[in-house]
Structure 1
Amino acid sequence: MAKVLCVGSAVIDFVFHLETLPRQPRKYGTEEAAVVGGGCAANAAVAVARLGGRAVLGARVGDDRIGDMILADLEAEGVDTTRVTRNAGGRSSFSSVYIDARGERQIVNFRGTGLVLDTSWFGDLDGLDAVLTDTRRVEAAIDALKLARARGVPGIVDGEEPIDPEILAQASHVAFSLQGLRSLLPDTGLEEALAALAREHDIWAAVTDGEKGVWYTTPRGVAHVPAYPVRAVDTLGAGDIWHGAFALGLAEGQSEAEAVVFANATAALKCMQPGGREGCPDRAAVEGFLARHAQTGAR
């Protein structure tokens, strides 16, 4: 069973489903709402666990009710939270999330206060097969990626803006969102930007763009893998789950191309289910989906 360290944010999402996203300063009502776990690293860790890997989470929460909720939900998913930093007097992060009838979302996030992520325990981890980090805590991300380099395992970055260049310098793999990529090279074409960043930082680089699929670098240039055509009902957490699946794929020895396809299938299945990361599929569901939708090569 492959072991993945996921470093970054862990939150609680208060999710409201509406016909259209709010645009006016007035009250809105809904018959459908949920309280679910969220956060880039936490969502990725849940994906790793559901897909059959061992997920260790490096995150920070307060010693408040929200922190209790965050940890209880992750522990129920089988994520190892024993190394999560609990900050005395800290206020944990939470988000208000609106999702419209098309599955698109609008998020307001309180990032928390009085929170510090302890990384002193990173070197004590054994049997590590990959490291995945978001970009929210630069020092912690750099420490995590340095650990990956020291262990000779993939050091993967979920490339959401803002992106500190030192994070890229320490990574082996960076999968950008389109906004993350544009934040670095706003006036450069997508394929040209990927190739330039891959050369500059000596990394494998990709960009995910929802229903348009994934572009990634190869020795022969930039390849494209289409997204699976599905009816999306909820995209909340889909990108984070994509990164968790991709990291697990690399941890298990899949090639980058194979891991992209595996991650695309996982994210597609998630988008077909409501409830944020509660809609993340298990390994059997992903393998069944892949068997029904053979997609073996980049285009």
Structure 2
Amino acid sequence: MTLIVFGSAIADFVFRMPHLPRAGETVLGEAGAALPGGKGLNQAIAAARDGGDAHFIGCVGRDANGAMLRATALASGVDVTGLREVEEATGLACVCVDAEGHNQIAVSLGANRRAEAARIAAIPPGATLLMQMEVPPAENAALIASGRRAGARILLNLAPAAGLPPEALRALDLLILNESEAAWIGAQLGQPGHAGSLHAALGIGVAVTEGERGVTAVTGEGVLHLPAHRVAVVDTVGAGDAWCGVLAAGLDRGMPLEAAMRRANAAGALACTKHGAAPAMPHAAEIDALLSRS
């Protein structure tokens, strides 16, 4: 099968500090060299490392950060034929991580604003599409419509939370959110922000990741809740992207939702045990090992 990830590629500058800054506060910390990130690239790498046939569609600048992101994706087995170079600078993120692994992230989208759904010339029937919200929402909406016409499976990680037309949301197979994103879209729909109410309002599958409490998914087949794995947290950057990428890879290989969610839960937990975003995406053998101990 084919997994097409349409989304962002961003160079992350990670600042490690004793606590996250409050409004108006300056906190001293340590930062290293730029690391590969961006929700789209992270998810494509997570899928490829778990054995998925991942094709990444997005934009980077003609600069050193763009070259670094392309090289990282290639080294992880991602097809980057659809990763286009544009004149705008590669997207950047400032990632602040405290001593307990919690994070705050500020993003400059840069070249990601030039991502175009029309660059995907053909969507094979039965393919899986995975999207996030660090590219223009109108492009996501266009790709959702194209994917539905092509008979693809369509997954959207509504991160960061942003609006899409109701018809685009209702055309999804699965909407993936964390708790704050679920609360946001729930408010837009006049509904409580949990998986059951969002499923009822939109008529689609909804999965809400709940941090240490695990994940709850509600589909037409019922409710699935899986607990989180207990791990020693280094930082939580990229955990949601690992979850989304591995889930999409599993579904694309024909796994039932529950089995794909179990792999995704393990992947998200493993991402918390390493520094960074894309570098923390686990490999299939690591996922298998954690599942075998659970």
Q: What is the TM-score when the length of structure 1 is the normalising length? A: 0.88
Q: C-alpha displacement at 1:285, in angstroms?
A: 1.1
1:80-99 aligned at under 5 Å gives the runs: 80-88=79-87, 90-99=88-97
CA distance in 2: counterparts of 1:170 and 1:74, whole angstroms = 29
CA distance in 1: counterparts of 2:61 and 2:251, whole angstroms = 32
Q: Describe the shift of the 1:182–1:99 C-alpha distance in structure 2 as closer, same or farther (beyond 3 A).
A: same
The answer as to 2:21 corresponding to 1:15 is no
Q: Describe the shift of the 1:29–1:184 C-alpha distance in structure 2 as closer, same or farther (beyond 3 A).
A: closer
Match of 1:244 in 2: 245
CA distance in 1: counterparts of 2:116 and 2:70, whole angstroms = 16
**1:195 touches 1:221 (CA, 8 Å); kept in 2?**
no
Match of 1:101 in 2: 99
5+ residue gaps, structure 2 = none
**1:177 touches 1:208 (CA, 8 Å); kept in 2?**
yes
Query: What does the per-residue CA deviation read over 1:197-231, in whole Å, with 9 as the maximum and x for residues that have no partner?
Result: 32333311111121121111144643321111212
**2:91 touches 2:109 (CA, 8 Å); kept in 1?**
yes
Match of 1:205 in 2: 206
Q: SS where residue 124 of structure 1 aligns?
A: coil
Kindly tell me the number of residue pairs found equivalent between the two proteins: 288
Q: Describe the shift of the 1:135–1:276 C-alpha distance in structure 2 as closer, same or farther (beyond 3 A).
A: closer
Query: What does the per-residue CA deviation read over 1:148-186, in whole Å, with 9 as the maximum and x for residues that have no partner?
Result: 323333100002201313431221111112121111223
% identical aligned pairs: 30
**1:206 touches 1:216 (CA, 8 Å); kept in 2?**
yes
Q: C-alpha displacement at 1:277, in angstroms?
A: 2.2
Q: SS where residue 34 of structure 2 aligns?
A: strand
Q: SS where residue 71 of structure 1 aligns?
A: helix
Match of 1:296 in 2: none
Letter in 2 for 1:44: Q
Q: What is the TM-score when the length of structure 2 is the normalising length? A: 0.89
CA distance in 1: counterparts of 2:184 and 2:6, whole angstroms = 22
CA distance in 2: counterparts of 1:29 and 1:123, whole angstroms = 45
CA distance in 2: counterparts of 1:113 and 1:286, whole angstroms = 33
Q: C-alpha displacement at 1:34, in angstroms?
A: 4.4
**1:19 touches 1:101 (CA, 8 Å); kept in 2?**
yes
CA distance in 2: counterparts of 1:271 and 1:113, whole angstroms = 28
Q: C-alpha displacement at 1:128, in angstroms?
A: 6.0
CA distance in 1: counterparts of 2:256 and 2:62, whole angstroms = 41
CA distance in 1: counterparts of 2:242 and 2:283, whole angstroms = 11
Query: What does the per-residue CA deviation read over 1:46-102, in whole Å, with 9 as the maximum and x for residues that have no partner?
Result: 0011111121111122223332222222222221112123223x1221011111111
CA distance in 2: counterparts of 1:177 and 1:223, whole angstroms = 16
Letter in 2 for 1:95: A
Q: SS where residue 157 of structure 2 aligns?
A: strand
Query: What does the per-residue CA deviation read over 1:99-143, in whole Å, with 9 as the maximum and x for residues that have no partner?
Result: 111111111111216942233342335476311001232222123
**1:49 touches 1:55 (CA, 8 Å); kept in 2?**
yes
Q: Describe the shift of the 1:80–1:234 C-alpha distance in structure 2 as closer, same or farther (beyond 3 A).
A: same
Q: Describe the shift of the 1:223–1:189 C-alpha distance in structure 2 as closer, same or farther (beyond 3 A).
A: farther
Q: SS where residue 83 of structure 1 aligns?
A: strand
CA distance in 2: counterparts of 1:220 and 1:64, whole angstroms = 47
Q: SS where residue 239 of structure 1 aligns?
A: helix
